[in-house]
Structure 1
Amino acid sequence: MPILRNPSRTTRSSVLAALTLATALLLAGCGGDANAGGTGTKLALDAALPTTVPAGAKIVVGDPTTQKALELSGQVDKVSGFVQFANLSGGPQTTEAFRANALDVGAVAEIPSIQATWTGLHVKIVASKFRQDPINHPIYELGVAPGVEVKTLADLRGKKIAYSPGQAQGALILKVLKKAGLTKEDVKLIELPSTGDVYPNALAAKQVDVAPIGGVSIKRYLTKYGKDGGTTIQHGIRDDAGHLYVPTSSLEDEGKAAAIRAYVAAWGVAQDWIDKHPKEWIEGYYVKDQGLTAEDGQWLVDNAGKPDISADWSDAIKRHQETIELLATETKNPVIQATDLYDLRFQSVAVDAIKAASTGAAK
């Protein structure tokens, strides 16, 4: 069955999007020219990573959550000399910013690195974070519209399902269908952007029967529409991947590579700080920065569970390969090798930094 597209959705060319985004970043003062800040010294992609950031090296980083964690933990000064933060995240934005040479590091899930490679943009993953007990602590649940009967994955047959190709939510839907023994022809995929409250609103309006919703939207959807019959069900699939990825051109500059390595180390320490300081995180990020209630913030902390940052990416690469093969079949793109998406030189950087910080704090 063909995918039904939202008639209100507009499309733009990648070139126009890239230019628009780059201009917006520069004018807003929250981004920069990622061509600047390099030392000009060429570094091979298999060379040892430099461990000292040279004077003048700078990178532009789109990772607002970690930025706030660094500020709240008092660690931001350790990277402020070589990092300029851009207020953007997510696959479409970061990939276009890479194309516009406006960004060096982006925070995403597992799909953007695949999509970027399929469109000819060379990128590498330099940090990975997951959740301990990810099945019981998923990022997304399947929201079910009021009055719609969906209690198991098999009940998805014939339903209208929100679908966002090229994003984590879209890949999740394909995985869910596969697990249920269904194909795209067994359902009606309604293409909708997954930003903001689009999915919860589409469920409430019965524009779709089912949509993957995540974060505090799960709690709010059930609170607002549960009385009318709105529900959610668990999908039982790992959806917990979180990565930092970069254009390979940034890694080929010695100064930028050193800065990226240092940022990954700071990123690791920041994730550990978030886990160990939930009260400060709830108050400083969820309440003061995101405008949520303390109750919502506590729900998000509890729902996330414990972070899992490993110095061995082999299992992550294996799962990523399974995702690639599923998406390749569904989108008619070539199968690429997940190993090629990861820069294994960074494999232990975050973990080593966390251990060093913990040792220092214990002294």
Structure 2
Amino acid sequence: MTFKSNLKAALFSLLALGAVSGTANAQADAPLLSKVPPGTVLTIGDPETQKALELSGLDKELTFKVNWANISGGPQTSEAFRAKALDVGAVAEIPSIFANWNNLPVRNIAYSEHRNPIANPIYRFGIAPGVNVKSLADFRGKRIAFSPGQAQGTLVLRALRAAGLQKSDVTLIELPSTSDVYPKALASRQVDIAPLGGVNIRRYINQYGPEGASLLEHGLRDDPAHLYAPQWVLDDPAKAAALAEYVGLWARAIEWVNQNPEIWIKEYYVGQQGLSREDGEYLVHLEGEQIVPADWTEVKKRHQETINLLAQELGYEPYSVEQIFDNRFEKLAAAALAKSQ
């Protein structure tokens, strides 16, 4: 790690100490209101759930006003939180961890995962044309695309640990994991290995497979997904009650997508995202079935392991997972599913 990177990590660690100590006892103990007070408004950044609610008709059950924001991903969501322009967002495992390290107190309020996370991983490792990589152990000596603060970067660190490798055994190339940056970096041999997700997996191998590009299954769990909200939103009784209602509808929307793949492909992937039907079918197969656990015990255990891994590898101060989960919401998603059946 360079002096600049070390300095950045040190500054972030100082921020983290302030953020963690300031939010350690911030979680509200007050019970959630049983009804959403009139006039409550939430701004929500969760485009997939928005579409699923509209297609299923579940949006008609909302008892509060929603301002939908076309925002997704950790960086955009955290930026919107800081600007007080968003009340809740949908992301993977990592953004809430880094938010608290960067003086942005947030908490996870809902969690989903793949029923079979090993058979249906979110990411595959793309291997550049001409590079011989058949296992995680072959990462030694390779240049790997790395995006600290995002799920793809954490997967790289997990893969290295699983292979018994250190960061010093490879060269991590910091690149944003947006759009088609990683496929292009692989094709141009800027990197040897990069974690690919979504349609980029299919498109990369279709386009560059004839030139010798390949994919590697990592065999690791990479499926956590969350709803998370800033502490100041959760401290507002009216907004917290609205979030509780939304968590229930979010879970039911997930189940609706599970049960209606053909409609989802046609209306969301093709109609809204502009993908081909083949891409839509690929993504449905890639995701498999999404489930909502009724208990967060194992979820928190895995989350704590992630916090500890990132703290050790990137120079941050570790903290307790309890600081980024609002336990008032733990049972709500599964309870809403049970009630609707």
Q: Is the TM value for this pair above 0.5?
A: yes
What does 1:44-83 align with in structure 2 at a 5 Å threshold?
45-79=28-62, 81-83=64-66
Question: Which sections of structure 1, spanning at least 5 residues, go unmatched?
Answer: 6-42, 359-363
Q: Which residue of 2 aligns with 1:11?
A: none
Shift of 1:122: 1.2
Give the TM-score normalised by the residue count of structure 1.
0.86
Match of 1:248 among 226, 231, 242: 231
Distance 1:44 1:237, change over 3 A: closer
Q: Which residue of 1 aligns with 2:14?
A: none
Q: Which residue of 2 aligns with 1:139?
A: 122
CA distance in 2, matches of 1:215, 1:317: 26
Q: Which residue of 2 aligns with 1:357?
A: 340
What does 1:142-291 align with in structure 2 at a 5 Å threshold?
142-291=125-274
CA distance in 1, matches of 2:174, 2:160: 16
What is the letter of the counterpart of residue 93 of structure 1? Q
Aligned residues: 322
Please state whether the residue corresponding to 1:117 is helix, strand or coil: helix
Shift of 1:78: 2.3
Identity percentage over the alignment? 53
Distance 1:354 1:146, change over 3 A: same
1:2–1:189 contact (8 Å) kept in structure 2: no
What is the letter of the counterpart of residue 350 of structure 1? A
Shift of 1:79: 2.6
Q: Which residue of 1 aligns with 2:94?
A: 111
CA distance in 2, matches of 1:147, 1:44: 52
Residue 276 (structure 2) pairs with residue 314 (structure 1): no
Deviates more, 1:241-250 or 1:47-56: 47-56
Deviations 1:110-168 (A, max 9, x none): 11111111112111100000001101110000000111111111111111100001000
CA distance in 2, matches of 1:90, 1:80: 27
Shift of 1:4: 11
Q: Which residue of 2 aligns with 1:34?
A: none
Shift of 1:80: 7.3
CA distance in 1, matches of 2:3, 2:263: 44
Shift of 1:272: 0.4
1:4–1:188 contact (8 Å) kept in structure 2: no
Please state whether the residue corresponding to 1:236 is helix, strand or coil: coil
1:3–1:190 contact (8 Å) kept in structure 2: no
2:110–2:333 contact (8 Å) kept in structure 1: yes
Distance 1:124 1:3, change over 3 A: same
1:162–1:191 contact (8 Å) kept in structure 2: yes
CA distance in 1, matches of 2:38, 2:318: 41
What is the letter of the counterpart of residue 115 of structure 2? Q
Deviations 1:199-258 (A, max 9, x none): 011111111100000111111111111111110101111000000000011111111011
